[in-house]
């Protein structure tokens, strides 16, 4: 029992170290050390925004050569790919309306009267769209059309609505 009341020097040191004020100061110093270590590690591994900006290379405008057409055939060489598309061209010399019974009375030698007058320009259609007007001519025993007027783009657009 006498041994129980005897204090050992090691136990006395632990009691002194456990003083609340001393304990708080120890925790504060330990936290400061941990934060200092953490910040030194971050500085070595992660760059600050200023350092990142320094590392980014400055951009410079690209120096490009001006493009030049490889071939300069015709007025619009960029449209060469459409030059071989076939179109249907027809010429209308006139129109008329007729009843079925009048149509059935037609035979060889009958004359069909048209609404156009002689000498009036004929209409030239490209793929069913009016594109020009002209006059009928004979070339080497074949009919032809001399173009006298090209229909403007505005007039062609107006005709699309009607």
Question: Is beta strand 129-139 parallel, antiparallel or unpaired with respect to 142-150?
Answer: antiparallel
**pLDDT the model gives residue 30:** 84
**pLDDT the model gives residue 2:** 47
Is 106:112 a contact under the CB 8 Å cutoff?
yes
**pLDDT the model gives residue 3:** 47
CA angle 80, 83, 84 (to 5 degrees): 125
For 30-84, the DSSP string reads HHHHHHHHHHHHHHHHS--HHHHHHHSPPP-----PPP--S---SS-GGGGGGTT
Q: What is the pTM of this model?
A: 0.48
pLDDT above 90 covers what percent of the chain? Answer: 35
Residue ranges in the chain whose pLDDT is less than 70:
1-18, 41-58, 69-76, 162
What's the whole-number average pLDDT of the chain? 79
Query: What's the pLDDT tens digit per position in 72-96?
Result: 556 667 777 788 899 999 999 999 9
**pLDDT the model gives residue 95:** 92
Q: Is 125 exposed, middle or buried (0-12, 13-18, 19+ CB in 10 A)?
A: middle
**pLDDT the model gives residue 1:** 47
**pLDDT the model gives residue 21:** 80
**pLDDT the model gives residue 48:** 55
Residue 11 in tokens: 């136990």
């Amino acid at each position: 029992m006498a041994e129980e009341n005897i204090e050992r020097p090691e136990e006395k040191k632990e009691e002194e170290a456990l003083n609340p004020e001393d304990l708080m100061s120890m925790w504060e110093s330990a936290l400061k050390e941990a934060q200092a270590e953490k910040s030194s590690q971050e500085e070595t591994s992660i760059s600050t925004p200023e350092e990142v900006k320094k590392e980014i290379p400055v951009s410079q405008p690209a120096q490009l050569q001006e493009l030049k057409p490889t071939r300069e055939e015709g007025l619009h060489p960029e449209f060469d790919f459409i030059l071989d598309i076939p179109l249907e061209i027809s010429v209308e010399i006139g129109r008329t309306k007729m009843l079925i019974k009048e149509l059935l009375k037609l035979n060889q030698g009958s004359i069909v009267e048209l609404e156009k007058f002689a000498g009036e320009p004929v209409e030239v259609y490209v793929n069913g769209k009016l594109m020009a007007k002209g006059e009928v001519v004979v070339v080497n025993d074949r009919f032809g059309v001399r173009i006298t007027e090209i229909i403007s783009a505005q007039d062609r657009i107006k005709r699309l609505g009607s």
